[in-house]
C-alpha cells in the first residue's frame, strides 16, 4: 500500500470506529458478555453540578438501555471504570470522589457493593495500567 492509501484507510477506520458521541469515553463488555457499559461525560447545561461528570449507561445484549447512573466523578481528574474480571461488577476508581463498586441485580439495576480489599487490588492495578503509574 502506498502512503496515500494508508492515510485514507486510517481516516476511514477512525471515522467508522469513532461514530460514537464525542463525549463517549469508554465502552466495555461485561465478563459474562450479557452487558455493555458505556461511560460518557455529561455536557448538558441544565444541571451545572453534574456537567463534566461521568455517566454510566448499562445496555443488555439487545442494545437496550437498562440502567443509567449519573456519577459525581469529574472528567477533569484521573479516573478508571472497569468490570471486575470474573463477575458482572462495575468498579469505579476516581481520584476526586474515591472508589465504588456496583453489581447488576435483577438484570436491570445497579446496586452498590461493599468496597473490599480485593476490589481495591483490581482497581489499583487497572488505574496504574491506565495512567502508567509505577
- pLDDT tens for each residue of 8-32: 333 333 333 333 344 678 999 999 9
pTM for the full model? 0.78
Inter-CA distances, 91 with 13, 16, 103, Å = 30, 29, 9
Amino acid at each position: 500500500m502506498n502512503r496515500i492509501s494508508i492515510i485514507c484507510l486510517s481516516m476511514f477506520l477512525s471515522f467508522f470506529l469513532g461514530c460514537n458521541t464525542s463525549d463517549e469515553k469508554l465502552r466495555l463488555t461485561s465478563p459474562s458478555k450479557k452487558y455493555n457499559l458505556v461511560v460518557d461525560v455529561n455536557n448538558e447545561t441544565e444541571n451545572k453540578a453534574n456537567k463534566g461528570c461521568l455517566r454510566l449507561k448499562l445496555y443488555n445484549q439487545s442494545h437496550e438501555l437498562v440502567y443509567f447512573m449519573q456519577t459525581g466523578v469529574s472528567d477533569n481528574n484521573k479516573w478508571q471504570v472497569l468490570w471486575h474480571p470474573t463477575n458482572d461488577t462495575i468498579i469505579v476508581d476516581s481520584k476526586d470522589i474515591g472508589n465504588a463498586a456496583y453489581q447488576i441485580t435483577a438484570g436491570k439495576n445497579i446496586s452498590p457493593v461493599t468496597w473490599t480489599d480485593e476490589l481495591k487490588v483490581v482497581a489499583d492495578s487497572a488505574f496504574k495500567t491506565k495512567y502508567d503509574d509505577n
